[in-house]
Amino acid sequence: MALSVFLLLSISICYLVFSQDLLLSVNASNAQSHNLTQNSVTPINYDLYRSSRNLMGEIRALVRRHPDKLTMETLKAANKGYGAQITVVTYGKEKEEKDKRSKLRILLSFGQHGRELITTELALRILSILSEEKLLPSTDQASLNSVLDKLVIKVVPMENPNGRKVVEAGDLCERRNGRGVDLNRNWSVDWGKKEKDYDPYEENPGVAPFSEPESQIMRKLAISFEPHLWVNVHSGMEALFMPYDHKNTTLDGLALKRMKSFLEEVNHHHCQERCMIGSGGGSVGYFAHGTATDFMYDVVGVPMAFTFEIYGDGTASSKDCFKMFNPTDPAAYNRVLNDWSATFFTIFKLVPLQIGEKAPILELEKLVSIDEYLDGYLMERRNRYGKKMEVLELGMQEIRTYFRLFLLSSVLLLFMFCSRISKSKCSRPLVSSMPL
């Protein structure tokens, strides 16, 4: 009996020792695997890239050094406890508004997605060339200045500073803003539609169009500035996109011909034909709803509205976002900045040729539809009173219906009134002016 108990205890001890060794071995293997995974993710190279704080500090210093060429303003907005501020730098030598309105106007936005650091570096490079602290190789500066004299250029160096801070804190794949909304899905054209492969981490459109302070700021900027050219600069691939993003449809007529020839010339001279060209929705392989470029073209009426993708590493893992969206070695980093800064200054030369040197004055009343007006009206009410989205959508549908019925009734009443007057004139007896 004692022998049996002894054998049982021995077997139990051996089993426990074996289990502990096995567990330690598994944990060590998992730790090694975790370390390999961590090591396979490329960190931000701060020897090449500036932090958001340093980059904006350099831009502010640049503006202070060149007040004759550059001015700067900071626009702020807030909604339900979440606020944002966006810096806008303007290049234009004339100070009077009437002089600016006679020039061609260009609006450029960078850093809409936090993880795309290379785009904000390009913004700084373009501003440095505009200030003439940096020069384009093989470019006649006098000839370039004569082109720039015809333009007013507004640059948004970092549209999403709150999202950028999340990236710098370690979430290298974050593209959304500080409260998890994709700013390039938060605009009102075809807002909120979700495809079958919808990923809320990548494409969260927010609770309503323009629910985000960043989008509100950019909308007000675009409507007040009325640009002739809009470029939303991203990274992830090399491409030159025109509207539309939300459907597999390109523009037609003169607009298509003008935009396509414009992009083909850019592709030929600066991409060496390697950049993808076409509509965003027809070229990428998926539809994007509620994008800035579609809004700029459809609502603001920007004659030439584009999305540029300036870099992408197709060999990078889907989890290695810094490498996927940003060049990681000095040679590639400098090549991207040199090539694309030259591209933008070629664009500055092409815009007067495409649109004409005399800037047409856009009439906003003709560009904003009743649906867009009501979207904005209800959005303001929603922000102020916190209505539920379902109630707002129902109210918007009812107001649109009543407005259209009012228009139809007015036309019918006018028609009936005119018909009655005409009938009355025809049936009135003729009275001679002279006695018979």
Number of H helices, E strands in the chain: 15, 8
Distance between CA 433 and CA 82 in Å, rounded? 80
Instruction: Calculate the alpha carbon distances from 297 to 28, 67, 153, 352 in Å.
Output: 56, 32, 18, 18
Strands 229-234 and 304-311: parallel
Pull the structure tokens for residue 35.
């370390």
Place of tokens 């293997």: 29
Tell me if residue 87 falls in helix, strand or coil.
strand
**Residue 275, number of CB atoms within 10 A of its CB:** 21
Distance between CA 394 and CA 403 in Å, rounded? 14
Point out the catalytic residue in the list 264, 309, 363, 365: 309
Strands 104-109 and 70-79: unpaired
Task: State the DSSP code for 211.
Answer: -
Task: State the DSSP code for 131.
Answer: T
Range list of H helices, 356-388: 370-385
Interior CA angle at 96 toward 91 and 105, to 5°? 45
CATH number of 52-356: 3.40.630.10
Least Cα distance to 158 among 206, 207, 208, 124 occurs for 124
Q: Going residue by residue through the chain (436 aa), what tens digit of pLDDT does each one get? A: 444 544 444 545 444 444 444 444 434 444 343 333 445 799 999 999 999 999 999 999 999 999 999 999 999 999 999 999 999 999 996 555 555 567 999 999 999 999 999 999 999 999 999 999 999 988 888 999 999 999 999 999 999 999 999 999 999 999 999 999 999 999 999 999 999 888 888 899 999 999 999 999 999 999 999 999 999 999 999 999 999 999 987 777 888 888 999 999 999 989 989 999 999 988 887 899 999 999 999 999 999 999 999 999 999 999 999 999 999 999 999 999 999 999 999 999 999 988 876 555 444 434 444 444 444 444 434 433 343 443 444 455 556 556 666 777 777 777 777 776 665 555 555 444 344 3
Distance between CA 306 and CA 308 in Å, rounded? 6
- Do the Cβ atoms of 100 and 92 come closer than 8 Å? yes
Distance between CA 96 and CA 106 in Å, rounded? 17
User: Residue 25 has what pLDDT?
Assistant: 45
Q: Any catalytic annotation for residue 309?
A: yes
Task: State the DSSP code for 132.
Answer: T
End-to-end CA distance of the chain: 152
Pull the structure tokens for residue 251.
């523009």
Order of strands across the sheet that contains 276-279: 70-79, 82-91, 151-156, 104-109, 229-234, 304-311, 237-242, 276-279
- Do the Cβ atoms of 97 and 162 come closer than 8 Å? no
**Residue 358, number of CB atoms within 10 A of its CB:** 11
Task: State the DSSP code for 138.
Answer: T
H or E element that contains 156: strand 151-156
**CB-based burial label for 136 (10 Å; 0-12, 13-18, 19+):** middle
H or E element that contains 203: helix 200-203
Which residues on neighbouring strands pair with residue 71, listed in sequence order?
90
Distance between CA 133 and CA 65 in Å, rounded? 10
Coarse DSSP helix, strand, coil percentages of the chain, rounded to the nearest 5 percent: 55, 15, 35
User: Residue 415 has what pLDDT?
Assistant: 72
